[in-house]
Structure 1
Amino acid sequence: MRRLFALMLGLSTLALGGGNGGSGPPAQPTLTGDLQIHDPTVLEVGGRYVAMGTGFENIDGGTLRIKTSADGLRWSDAGTLGTAQPAWVAKQLGTQPPNLWAPTLSRRGSTTYLYYAASLFGKNTSGIGLATNPHLDPAHPAAGWTDQGAVLTSKRGDTFNAIDPFRIDTNDGRAWLAFGSFWDGIKLRELDAVSGKLRPGNSTLYSLASRGGGAVEAASLLEHGGYFYLFVSFDRCCAGLDSTYHIMVGRAKQITGPYTDREGVPMMKGGGSQLQASSGRLIGPGGQEVYRNGAQDWLVYHYYDGDLGGTPQLQTAQIGFDAAGWPVLGALPK
């Protein structure tokens, strides 16, 4: 899961090492400033950047952390999105969790949509909430938000886990929410594109990827070149230097699937092609998400820095495509 798992100062270590092919994208940039974040999401607004991530456990109410940047390279801490969790969270979970997890930012028209997860570690008593902002100001990213309550929930006995949300607005004008972790894997529901809530006319729960109860989470989708690409994280998150997270990808002709990897293995049967894994000081890369940066598609993810005792750090990378149409990332920063 892009598990908004304890983003405390000293959590973890990253792992990277992806492929390169075709003309290849540029090297991944060296980021500076305050980079401590977990399960990051990035939104470009008027040439400036806002990032949000999992809250610190039992600090500032465990609310979402915020970073800002004027150029996407040097980042500054911008505090939290409030100091109290929305009222629906404790009602849904039966208790207030230590923190909120795995936010995702997207825009449609002038409205910014923020989805986030609330859960208890290791359980699927969970919920995905939504907040909206009619005019997000990157200079004041904590201002202007209205919480819209729960969008989707899960409970003990359900076959899915309602965490790790990601919204995609497709070229046909529709909107979709991907989510899931462990259990039966990655799921998809259609949204009402304007309200951001589930679309009343389509109650189908689509299945995109599964490892038979194993670790697959942090779903993110990209529409490109006639395909939909599904990015996920495999294996162990949130264990600092012992993390084994790595980023995998598959693709499909329709957003609802079926998704397969480079070798044609269905992602519903554990398939996935590795995009980024641990390398050097960069341990356990994952919690990834696609975002638009100017005219290019980029990926943002966290890793655990071996030189900083496993502290989770922010990294971004432009997405390139090889001759066969598969995504590749540039060389890692030193």
Structure 2
Amino acid sequence: MKRLRLAAILAAALLAFLPSTAQAADYPDPLPLTGQQIIHDPTVHRLDNGLYVAYSTGGVIGARLSKDLRHWDDAGNAFDQPPSWWYEYNSTGDPWAPDLSYRDGRYWLYYAVSSWGTNHSAIGVATSPTGMPGTWTDHGKVFTSETTDAWNAIDPAVIPANGRLWMAFGSYWTGIRMVELDATTGKAIPGATVHHLATRPDAPYAVEGAYVVKHGQYYYLFASYDACCAGVNSTYKIRVGRSTSVTGPYTDSTGTPLLNGGGDLFLASHGRYIGPGGESVFRDQGEDWIAYHYYDGDDNGTPKLGMNPLGWTRDGWPTLEQPSPTARP
């Protein structure tokens, strides 16, 4: 009887373990890349000249270029020198988490400047006729936060909606927020309402790196949960919710509001790909892609670029897809 009970206990333990193992194995690996893969908080776009550009945290907004989305070369930085006002927010003029978009005949590059562990922060914006490194003109501050605020003005992500322009942002300090921008200047409308999109139930409210994308009748809010920037010890993961309004409320597939700690798990650590997050979505040749960084468990936790096609279920929820084995044109 003891042996039977022991066998039953072992079988139950095995069954309890199997679902999580299978779930982890179900995540497709990212697109295989060559060249300069080291990156953090990527934003990817196909430029009018046919090249792909990836801007990221590091340097003076680090830049990489590719002809085929697979092989990436170091392309220096967006700026030759940090704009002087960046030094108000850290001593090294270090920018974080850029967001690249195109509208009104120009490329727009949003970014954040701050210091680790404070919400004395600012989001800035620059424009370029080509989107290439070295062609950017900075236009100063878009939106700021101070230590008296309940939000943190970093990690910008801009989305047009119903003829208006919006920017999601936020990191810890009660999570993800959103403000309306003036479409002409690209800056926050003075006195604009600060909408609340997502948070966690307990401090330190570890939600950041939001990105909002429209698909069908819904707006989808992707966000990075838990801790980044710790190599193989990073616990980043991407969760998602949706809303029929760009300003929310956002809920997950069970109906749990993201303001109440909801959010469907979209991508988490699997195999060598540890702590995926810092995500953005881009569209290329009629196909949606999601870009993110992960910490390579086979390379001492080095942050690297991950990209996968973004699929959609029949009921309208995003899925991470396996990249095609064939090279892109």
TM value normalised by structure 1: 0.85
The alpha-carbon distance between structure 1 residues 134 and 268, as it changes in their structure 2 partners (threshold 3 A), is: same
Aligned to 1:240: 231
- Listed as ranges, the gaps of 5+ residues in structure 1 are 1-15, 21-25, 56-61
- For 1:159, which of 150, 156, 163 is the aligned residue? 150
1:78 paired with 2:75, answer: yes
Percent identity, aligned pairs only, is 47
| d(CA) in 2 for partners of 1:18, 1:263 | 23
Report the secondary structure of 1:39's partner residue. coil
1:270 paired with 2:235, answer: no
Paired residues of 2:93 and 2:113 also in contact (CA < 8 A): no
The alpha-carbon distance between structure 1 residues 18 and 216, as it changes in their structure 2 partners (threshold 3 A), is: farther
Aligned to 2:56: 53
| d(CA) in 2 for partners of 1:106, 1:309 | 33
CA offsets per residue over residues 36-67 of structure 1, 9 Å max, x none?
00000011113321101001xxxxxx411100
Report the secondary structure of 1:249's partner residue. strand
CA offsets per residue over residues 267-323 of structure 1, 9 Å max, x none?
001110011000000000000011121212211000001111111000111111112
- 1:326 partner amino acid: W
Q: Which moved more, 1:268-277 or 1:27-36?
A: 27-36
- CA-based RMSD: 2.0
Report the secondary structure of 1:194's partner residue. coil
The alpha-carbon distance between structure 1 residues 18 and 246, as it changes in their structure 2 partners (threshold 3 A), is: farther
| d(CA) in 2 for partners of 1:28, 1:53 | 18
Structure 1 residue 175: deviation in Å?
1.3
Report the secondary structure of 1:308's partner residue. coil
Aligned to 1:203: 192
1:29 paired with 2:26, answer: no
Report the secondary structure of 2:298's partner residue. helix
Report the secondary structure of 1:88's partner residue. helix
| d(CA) in 1 for partners of 2:93, 2:25 | 34
Q: Quick check: which has more Rg, 1 or 2?
A: 2
The alpha-carbon distance between structure 1 residues 279 and 333, as it changes in their structure 2 partners (threshold 3 A), is: farther
The alpha-carbon distance between structure 1 residues 333 and 99, as it changes in their structure 2 partners (threshold 3 A), is: farther
| d(CA) in 2 for partners of 1:231, 1:197 | 23
Aligned to 2:118: 123
Paired residues of 1:176 and 1:190 also in contact (CA < 8 A): yes
Structure 1 residue 194: deviation in Å?
2.7
Q: Which moved more, 1:314-323 or 1:278-287?
A: 314-323
Paired residues of 1:97 and 1:119 also in contact (CA < 8 A): no
- For 1:215, which of 206, 231, 243 is the aligned residue? 206
Paired residues of 1:17 and 1:332 also in contact (CA < 8 A): no
- For 1:102, which of 94, 97, 104 is the aligned residue? 97
CA offsets per residue over residues 137-178 of structure 1, 9 Å max, x none?
xxxx223211000111111111000000011123x3321110
Report the secondary structure of 1:307's partner residue. coil
Give every structure 1 segment of 4 or more consecutive aligned residues whose post-TM-superposition deviation is greater than 3 Å: 16-20, 331-334
Alignment of 1:1-334 (within 5 A): 17=24, 28-46=30-48, 47-55=50-58, 62-91=59-88, 93=89, 95-97=90-92, 99-136=94-131, 141-170=132-161, 172-200=162-190, 203-212=192-201, 213=203, 214-331=205-322
CA offsets per residue over residues 83-142 of structure 1, 9 Å max, x none?
432111223x2x424621000100003200001111110110110011111233xxxx22
Aligned to 2:20: none
Report the secondary structure of 1:72's partner residue. coil
| d(CA) in 2 for partners of 1:183, 1:332 | 36
| d(CA) in 1 for partners of 2:85, 2:93 | 15
| d(CA) in 2 for partners of 1:333, 1:272 | 28
Q: Which moved more, 1:96-105 or 1:237-246?
A: 96-105
Count residues with an aligned counterpart.
Answer: 300
| d(CA) in 1 for partners of 2:92, 2:117 | 12
- Listed as ranges, the gaps of 5+ residues in structure 2 are 1-22
